[in-house]
Amino acid sequence: MKKRKSLEEYKSGILKGDRSSLAQAITLVESTLEEDRKLGSQLVQELLPKTGNSIRVGITGVPGVGKSTFIESFGMFLLNSGRHVAVLAIDPSSQKGKGSILGDKTRMEQLASDHRAFIRPSPSGNSLGGVSTKTREAMLLCEAAGFDTILIETVGVGQSETAVKNMVDFFLLLMLSGAGDELQGIKKGIMEMADGLVINKADGENVKASKLARQHYLQALHLFPPNENNWYPKVELVSSTERTGMEEIWKMIKAFEESTKSNGFWSKTRANQRFKWFEESVHHMLFEEFSKNEGVRKLLKEHENEVASGKISPQWLAQRALESFLNN
């Protein structure tokens, strides 16, 4: 069995920007072993003064929109602008499929092979709460290692968007044009979460359709109530394959940063996110302890067939299980 590094070894390696130490530390905080988790939690706490100095950008979009190609193009633009980029990919299904990040690295071949960038998956385990905690910890470790731009990609769709929104400064929604009614299939809630929209694949014969889609999205955004931070989402056109429009995206993100820092919303959002992280961590830890409790496990085994057949309600069993947990 490979010997576990000491706290000081992990800390020293990360502060030096050593990629191997960073990767091993992220593996540590993702571990389900109690000893690893305690060491990982202590490591994050020790490194906390060296975190928080990055811009955290969440990137989402429906499958086929070109997230990986966009992230590679945008990431290379940022690297060539002097930024240090880390990409964390949230994938609620990766624990089962075990292959999504390999696909991402294949699609981000240039970015993945650049020594200035760092790409890492963030599997969810058995719950989205788990992925939120692990990704936040990975993000802080990347910041401590000197990465000043963190790109967090949602590989899945659904709840993962909310999880990412609750840990980033700027939430970017990738869209497509030329597929009939551009607003079809786009959940209002996801659009309301977005701080900026990007119409990808705006190249060749698709440029005209992309410009028309931009007008549709701008009109749709005007129907939403104003954001609390007084920021009005912008819509930009990009071509990830031709690598055009990347500077405009970065200018939009920097304008958002300047605006929200000046009105205090930047720090307010981060403070709220820390409390959200605390709540999610408590929920996740309590559920793990609840699931491991012998009295609860025995009760569930006794009544699982009755719940499955509809003879007793899940709510009734949940109440009994909770009482058993609290009385043990």
pLDDT at position 181 is 46
Using the predicted structure, report yes or no on whether residue 257 has a pLDDT greater than 90.
Answer: yes
Using the predicted structure, report yes or no on whether residue 1 has a pLDDT greater than 60.
Answer: no
pLDDT at position 91 is 62
pLDDT at position 123 is 59
Stretch 248-263: mean pLDDT: 97
Determine if the pTM surpasses 0.75. Answer: yes
Burial readout 111-120 (b: 16 or more C-beta within 10 A, e: otherwise) = bbebeebbbb
Q: How far apart are CA 216 and CA 214, in angstroms?
A: 5
pLDDT at position 191 is 80
Q: How far apart are CA 135 and CA 140, in angstroms?
A: 9
Residue pLDDT, tens place only, 9-33: 999 999 999 999 999 999 999 888 8
Stretch 276-299: mean pLDDT: 91
In this structure, of 62-71, 110-119, 231-240, 254-263, the range with the lowest mean pLDDT score is 62-71
pLDDT at position 94 is 46
Return the bridge partners of 117, or none. 85
The answer as to CATH 3.40.50.300 being correct for domain 51-263 is yes
Amino acid (1-letter code) at residue 247? E
Residue pLDDT, tens place only, 217-245: 888 888 888 788 989 999 999 999 899 99
1-50 fold: 1.20.5
Q: How far apart are CA 191 and CA 195, in angstroms?
A: 9
Percentage of the chain exceeding pLDDT 90 = 59
Q: How far apart are CA 93 and CA 238, in angstroms?
A: 29
pLDDT at position 109 is 86
pLDDT at position 102 is 45
The owner of tokens 């990738």 is: 174
pLDDT at position 99 is 42
How do 55-60 and 149-154 pair as beta strands? parallel
Helix or strand run (H / E) with residue 90: strand 85-91
Residue pLDDT, tens place only, 201-222: 888 888 888 898 888 888 888 8
Residue pLDDT, tens place only, 59-103: 988 778 889 899 999 999 999 999 999 999 876 554 444 444 444
Stretch 239-267: mean pLDDT: 96
Domain ranges of the chain: 1-50, 51-263, 293-327
Q: Phi and psi of 25, rounded to 5°?
A: -70, -40
Residue pLDDT, tens place only, 134-183: 899 999 999 999 999 999 998 655 667 888 889 999 999 998 875 444 44
Q: How many CB atoms lie within 10 A of CB 193?
A: 18
Burial readout 158-169 (b: 16 or more C-beta within 10 A, e: otherwise) = eebbebbbbbbb
217: burial class by Cβ within 10 Å (0-12, 13-18, 19+)? buried
